[in-house]
Chain A
Amino acid sequence: MKKNLNTIAYCRIKNHTISVNGKLLYTKDSQLTFPEFAKQVYKEKNIAYPKFFKMDNLSKLGFLASEFIFEAAKLDSDIIKNTGIVLSNRASSLDTDRKHQETINDKNNYYPSPAVFVYTLANIMIGEISIRHQIKGENVFFVAEQFNEILLEQYASSLIQNKKSDLVLCGWVDIDKDKYDAFMYLVAEEGPQKYSKEIIKKIYTED
């Protein structure tokens, strides 16, 4: 029998703002670049994770969203371990791909940066989130034109119904140059808010 699922927490990061469960937590100067915005939030939240500064912009965006989600979820680390991760975006890792391209354009000055190159895959962000929270569950990353709540709902439901994961961290984490948008939510059998693709779509559209 198909189980009803619930949303434990959700987070939105866009236009220099961060909201969690619909509540606005941060509004920053609109002149800030994304790295400046991310750094300010990192400092203000007193996150102690120096690896953050080595991440590319996509990973920073996903990392921050997941920080707020797991903080709001208030779950034991043992439970978090078996979280599935189902994320998606439009630009894949293009933002970092361009930076890598810049280091190899000139044959006479050909010094590709290993630290940039390792982020030329969108699912590296999932790896960063997994390392941070010691997550060992299933994961997948989709590249699509737009946020697809149906696909994410089907995949998340399948992971939980088939007992592959107890929780699933889902969402859309997209960044390309100055445009960024993260909408992340944590789904499980138990949670404070009813989950359905219609509800998620509504939150995504209105938040």
Chain B
Amino acid sequence: MDALKKELKESIIEQLNLEDFSVDDIADDDALFGDGLGLDSIDALELIVMLDKDYGIKLTDPNEGKAVFVSVEVLAKYITDNRTK
């Protein structure tokens, strides 16, 4: 799980162009949206594509996305439970 969390942080930083962040800057329970990393709606779409492309998970329900993208911790658990690749 720790390796997955690190991988997720690296992917988030790279794919969402979070230039001012490093892996160490993102705590496992930091909020991804709102006051945490300050991600926006386009970032949310980008994360949905990332789940599909890297882990074979198709998110179609917006409410599900809201629950999944709470933090790296929550996201890592969801991927572990649902990944197809």
A: which residues have CB within 8 A of B?
Answer: 39, 50, 52-54, 111-115, 118
Contact = CB atoms under 8 A, between A and B. Distances in A.
29 contacts: A39-B19, A50-B18, A50-B19, A50-B20, A52-B19, A53-B17, A53-B18, A53-B19, A54-B16, A54-B17, A54-B42, A111-B49, A111-B52, A111-B53, A112-B49, A113-B46, A113-B49, A114-B42, A114-B45, A114-B46, A114-B49, A115-B15, A115-B16, A115-B17, A115-B42, A115-B43, A115-B45, A115-B46, A118-B42
Contacts of B15: 115
Nearest to A119: B42
Interface string B32-68: 0000001000110110010011000000000000000
Contact size range, B: 10 to 19
Contacts of B46: 113-115
A81 B18 CA distance: 28
A117 to B, nearest CB: 9
A122 B29 CA distance: 38
A55 to B, nearest CB: 9
A102 B31 CA distance: 32
B38 A50 contact: yes
Contacts of A112: 49
A207 B31 CA distance: 48
Nearest to A118: B42
A53 B49 CA distance: 19
Which 7 pairs, one residue from A and one from B, show the smallest C-beta to C-beta distance? Answer: A114-B45, A53-B19, A53-B17, A111-B53, A54-B17, A115-B46, A114-B42
Given A50-B20, A113-B49, 16 more contacts: A39-B19, A50-B18, A50-B38, A52-B19, A53-B18, A53-B19, A54-B16, A111-B52, A112-B49, A114-B46, A114-B49, A115-B15, A115-B16, A115-B42, A115-B46, A118-B42
